Amino acid sequence: MSNLRSGMDLGLGDRCSHIAFTRAKETFANRAGRPGSPILQVGASFANCMDYGAVKVAMTSDGIGSKIEVAERTGVYRTLGFDLVAMVVDDLVSNGFEPANLSNILDVDYLDVRVVDELMQGLADAAAAAQVAVTGGEIAELGARVRGYGPGMHFNWCATAIGLLPQGLRPVDGLALEPGDVLVALPSTGFRSNGFSLVRSVLGRCLGDAWHEQPLAGFDTWGMAALTPSIIYAPAVLGVLRSGVDVHGIAHITGGGIPDKLGRVLRVRGLGAVLDDLPPAPWFMAELQRMGGIDDRQAWHLWNMGTGMIVAVGRRDAERCAEILRREGHEARVAGRVVPERGISILGGGSREVRFDLRG
């Protein structure tokens, strides 16, 4: 199944993102030499960093995409807050920043107080888990400009979060990476907020329009499996950073999967990775891959395949890093190593060996 057939064109998305970044970069000079001057980051940037003198601040924005349709289908809205918060706070911590504040924008066709209340309850729960304050927001009623599945309130939901660089620490930018570094993986229990165009396409084709109502062992329905909320990693990873562990790079595995997100970190030094003991993909993710006839390369590019974050540390700190993460409730494991040869070889996670070249 091609990306285009599933409603996605990653290449086109990358082109549009590049256009937006190019225009945004033209504005950096507006704050040159003044508070808020952007700090040009290397390729391992997951958030935009700004200089306020003694304080370094990072900012990032994201949304939860078409996972919203799964909530519309199931009528379950409270878990979406975890997806929204995870998308932004886990990007911040990937560059070593402590998430602090979050603002969100909820665009709706019309207002349903019950649905809004569920969403905001979930947002508050997720903010507590991430240890951030929700200090801004907007709800806009846009009528026919917003559409969705079935009757009821339809919406899009995005957030912006800011984080502070903890005192005494440097940004994590991948520049310290070296061959022999160990890659510690944190498992993901679901799709998080990425690859849902393909999820919905496969389920609709294989199970029909009411795929969300089809039974699935352990989840009641396929809809509830697809809705599995995102794990928020930021507090646990901050614990690693504050512990003195020698952290060289962090990859938040979102859109583009391990090849894109770990690749972003590895490209900084022109290095590669061998991943031979990744967490397995959740069984329903593997089953969806089988149902859809999705080849391994596409699956690894569009889904996280069971890994939500990868932390690169010096060899001597590998077990210490994993142990700190385990104490925080994550089943962290040593999943691989950094190698001199460019490219990512994936041997674990339940699939055959797959290799991805890293160019540029």
pTM for the whole structure: 0.93
Q: What is the pLDDT of residue 317?
A: 97
Digit-coded pLDDT (tens) for 79-95 = 999 999 999 999 999 99
131: left (phi over 0), alpha (psi -120 to 50) or beta: left
Q: What is the pLDDT of residue 14?
A: 77
Q: Write the DSSP symbol of residue 8.
A: -
Q: What are the DSSP E strand ranges found in the chain?
A: 37-39, 48-52, 55-63, 98-108, 133-141, 155-164, 182-187, 215-216, 220-221, 247-252, 272-275, 307-313, 333-339, 343-346, 354-356
Q: What is the pLDDT of residue 104?
A: 99
Residue 6: pLDDT above 60? no
Q: What is the pLDDT of residue 4?
A: 44
Q: What is the pLDDT of residue 277?
A: 95
Mean pLDDT along residues 333-353: 87
CA pair distance 303, 200, nearest whole angstrom: 13
Q: What is the pLDDT of residue 45?
A: 77
Choose the weakest-confidence range: 18-22, 66-70, 137-141, 239-243.
Answer: 18-22
For every residue of 100-157, DSSP letters joined together read EEEEEEEEESS--HHHHHHHHHHHHHHHHHHT-EEEEEEEEE-GGG---SSSS--EEE
CA pair distance 38, 35, nearest whole angstrom: 9
Asked whether the beta carbons of 49 and 61 are under 8 A apart, the reply is no
Q: What is the pLDDT of residue 9?
A: 66
Q: What is the pLDDT of residue 65?
A: 95
Digit-coded pLDDT (tens) for 36-57 = 888 865 556 778 889 888 899 9
Q: What is the pLDDT of residue 179?
A: 98
318: left (phi over 0), alpha (psi -120 to 50) or beta: alpha
Average pLDDT, the chain: 93
Distance of CA 178 to the CA centre of its chain: 24
Digit-coded pLDDT (tens) for 175-184 = 999 999 999 9
Here the tokens at position 238 are 């901050």
CA dihedral 19, 23, 26, 32 (to 10 degrees): -110
Digit-coded pLDDT (tens) for 326-337 = 999 999 999 999
Q: What is the pLDDT of residue 11?
A: 76
Digit-coded pLDDT (tens) for 243-267 = 999 999 999 999 999 999 999 999 9
H helix or E strand, kind and range, residue 291: helix 283-292
Q: Minimal CA–CA distance to 82: which of 50, 125, 132?
A: 125
Q: Which amino acid, residue 276?
A: D
Instruction: Please name each of the domains of the chain with its CATH number.
Output: 31-164 (3.30.1330.10), 182-356 (3.90.650.10)
Q: What is the pLDDT of residue 47?
A: 83
Residue 349: pLDDT above 60? no
| Confidence band for 360, pLDDT divided at 50, 70 and 90 | low
Choose the weakest-confidence range: 38-42, 58-62, 312-316.
Answer: 38-42
Digit-coded pLDDT (tens) for 15-30 = 898 898 889 888 988 9
